């Protein structure tokens, strides 16, 4: 039995609850995994039950009132850090929004959870972007697991592929389209839109972060590059070590030059000699050259050649599914100890 505290009950948190509801029986039958969400909190308040929250009711309450505090008849309202420090649980799932200034409140949730002996699954990239090496050290010191499958590639297990499926192989370098929003904008620019129109269209579709700079100026891609560089290439770096150029200055003329060159301009995050996020020309024949909101990454391996993985980079259910994968890992690791 894994008892879970869930930080954040937005799109990812709600999809995770739905996924648990639909999968609980087969998770137990197929993987022996029993899960119980004992606490949930967001910026407004919290709901908790050591016997396990009724996820159906929690989803209804959230839908009806937009506020999970209404789950309890009385006004219980432990704050997040109190819950992390006070409740009996095995796993903290951190789904609050990423920021790259101080990574709060996610950073405090993660640090306090690990200090209290909880395993952590984060889909929030902020804390990893700012402090990957020290968070891994903290996890090791406290003998807990820190998992983050959902931070890169959403439901597409890019991190796992590079680390596990390619075990025994040496990855020499990699380059990828790691941000779907900028790829969507650049694809529309290739089809004739100006940057301004394409950005407006992406906003209308809900593809752009509340702070557009996170997408447009390459922070999101840079954060993912930090995570991959640390985890796959054993580098000890943070977002400060990434050279970062966004797509704000990509002109219609750049796009036309690329087209004439049988190529397209893509925002590429690359780990070769340096760590770089920047717009680059990619040949239309390159498997990496995917369109729309797709993500893609190419690993250059020593003996197995170039390998490219393509998938949807984001989406609530996709990310929820990555959390489930991390939970399966945690359960397996725990059973070996």
Mind telling me the catalytic residues? Answer: 224
Residue closer to a copy of itself by CB (options 156, 270) is 156
Q: Which residues pair with 228 in a beta bridge?
A: none
Task: List residues binding a copy of itself (CB under 8 A).
Answer: 19, 27, 31, 154-157, 160-161, 164-169, 285, 287, 290-291, 294, 296, 301, 303-312, 315, 317-318, 320-322, 324-325, 327-328
Burial of 74 (0-12, 13-18, 19+ CB in 10 A): exposed
Least spacing, CB of residue 296 vs a copy of itself, in Å: 8
**Smallest separation (angstroms) from a copy of itself to the CB of 320:** 7
Q: What is the DSSP string of 96-129?
A: SPP-SSS-TTHHHHHHHHHHTT-EEEE---HHHH
Q: Rounded to an integer, what distance in angstroms lies between the CA atom of residue 109 and that of residue 201?
A: 35
C-beta of 217 vs 326, nearer to a copy of itself: 326
Secondary structure letter of residue 298 according to DSSP: E
Q: Closest CB to a copy of itself among 31 and 70? A: 31
Cβ at position 290, least distance to a copy of itself in Å = 6
Cβ atoms of 123 and 151 closer than 8 Å: yes
Q: Which is nearer to a copy of itself, 102 or 284 (CB)?
A: 284
CA neighbor of 221 nearest in space, from 209, 210, 232, 233: 209
Q: Are 81 and 109 in contact (CB under 8 A)?
A: yes
Rounded to the nearest whole angstrom, what is the least distance from the CB of residue 163 to a copy of itself in the complex?
9
């Amino acid at each position: 039995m894994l008892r879970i505290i869930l930080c954040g009950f937005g799109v990812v948190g709600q999809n995770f609850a739905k996924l648990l509801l639909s999968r609980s029986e087969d998770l137990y039958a197929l993987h022996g995994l029993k899960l119980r969400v004992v606490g949930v909190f967001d910026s407004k308040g919290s709901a908790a039950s050591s016997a396990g929250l009724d996820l159906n009711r929690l989803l209804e309450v959230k839908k009806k009132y937009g506020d999970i505090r209404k789950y309890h008849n009385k006004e219980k309202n432990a704050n997040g850090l109190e819950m992390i420090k006070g409740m009996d649980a095995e796993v903290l799932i951190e789904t609050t929004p990423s920021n790259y200034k101080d990574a709060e409140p996610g950073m405090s949730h993660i640090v306090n959870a690990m200090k209290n002996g909880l395993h952590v699954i984060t889909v929030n990239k902020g804390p990893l972007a700012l402090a990957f090496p020290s968070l891994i050290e903290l996890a090791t010191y406290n003998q807990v697991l820190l998992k983050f499958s959902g931070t890169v590639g959403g439901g597409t297990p890019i991190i796992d592929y590079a680390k596990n499926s390619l075990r025994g192989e040496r990855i020499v370098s990699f380059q990828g389209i790691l941000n779907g929003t900028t790829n969507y904008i650049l694809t529309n620019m290739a089809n004739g839109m100006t940057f301004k129109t394409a950005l407006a269209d992406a906003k209308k579709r809900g593809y752009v972060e509340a702070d557009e700079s996170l997408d447009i100026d390459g922070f999101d891609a840079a954060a993912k590059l930090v995570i991959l560089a640390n985890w796959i290439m054993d580098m000890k770096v943070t977002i400060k070590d990434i050279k970062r150029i966004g797509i704000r200055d990509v002109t219609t003329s750049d796009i036309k030059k690329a087209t004439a060159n049988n190529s397209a301009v893509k925002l590429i995050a690359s780990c070769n000699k340096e760590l770089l996020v920047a717009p680059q020309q990619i040949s239309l024949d390159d498997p990496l050259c995917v369109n729309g909101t797709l993500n893609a990454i190419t690993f250059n391996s020593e003996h197995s050649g170039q390998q490219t993985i393509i998938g949807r980079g984001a989406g609530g259910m996709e990310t929820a599914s990555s959390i489930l994968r991390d939970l399966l890992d945690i359960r397996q690791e725990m059973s070996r100890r």
